[in-house]
Amino acid sequence: MPAEWAPHTATYLVWPHNRDTWPGKFAPIPGIFARMAAALAHFEPLRILIHNASARDEVRALLRATPGPFGDPVRLDRIELLPIPTNDSWIRDHGPIFVNRVSGDATTTPGQIALDWRFNSWGEKYGPYDFDDVVPRRLGERYAFPVVEPGVVLEGGSIDVNGAGTILTTESCLLNPNRNPHLTRAEIEEFLRVYLGVSQILWLGEGIAGDDTDGHVDDLARFTAPDTIVTVVEEDPADANYAALRDNLVRLRAMRDLNGQPFRIETLPMPPALLYDATRLPASYANFYIANGGIVMPTFDCPADDIAATTLARLFPGRRVVRIPSTDLVWGLGAIHCLTQQHPAP
């Protein structure tokens, strides 16, 4: 599996239509998606799944009225609208995960395949997910790429790879009995090795407060280079995230790469606790997306936004950082990375 910073053929996005995802706060969401789409299309082709063909004109009109991230016109020529039904917008978790097959011997044919892991709505937490579960197949039919089903539950937000044989994940999610209760830790690791082409699995512990995914790693820690991991930290001992994030930081500092060398560990702040209707929301600067030439990151209208943006600009020299206000967006319990899925170049 290529690292996210490897060149992309395109990014996938699912236009919002499920009002239950943002109860009482859906009105601003399409406009935020339009800003995300304009930012992504500035950097690379964007493929947006729309629930049905009748939504095409409305979505296109909103996109046309949205400026690009740097005051430029939105790149409509890079945006394709695909009438593919979905239950929800979290394509990071139910979309295809691409791997590039490299030639290892005479029996192996180089090429790219999409993995269609089973999706069960994060442990059967929410309503129907039948449309979401077949999105990789529908996209494979549309773009003629081969699709392989490993046969176990896995969400894209639960893993992060460095493209050099190492994967980051969490015990709280992958070992949760609501995913694959019939598999042991060793068996799950074997699936990751076989299907994602990794040699080393690095385990973090718990996720952040408010995360209904049981602790996806894309709210915690991300590779920014083969030897570098950026992780979120909470400085307030009274905050609900303090202990879990300290534990993860200790684990990260003890980890070694495949050559036995320590990883370079960088940190991002956490925004102040974000609540809506007395519900703690999973706001995290780790939920950024790496595009061709850019970083699209969530912001939460607080001073930590500037610190996070400066840190990401330093960690990704040569890529322009685009901020997407996400205080309303995260009421759906996810942000930028959760809503995007990369199609790496073969």
Residues with a catalytic annotation lie at 338
Closest Cα partner for 21 from 337, 285, 340, 335?
A: 335
Residue 78 Cα to chain centre, angstroms: 21
Tokens of 212: 């209904």
Burial, 68: exposed, middle or buried (Cβ in 10 Å; 0-12, 13-18, 19+)?
Answer: middle
Angle subtended by helix axes 56-64 and 29-43, to nearest 10: 70
Burial, 171: exposed, middle or buried (Cβ in 10 Å; 0-12, 13-18, 19+)?
Answer: middle
Report the alpha-carbon angle 251-257-260, nearest 5: 100
Closest Cα partner for 145 from 80, 95, 91?
A: 95
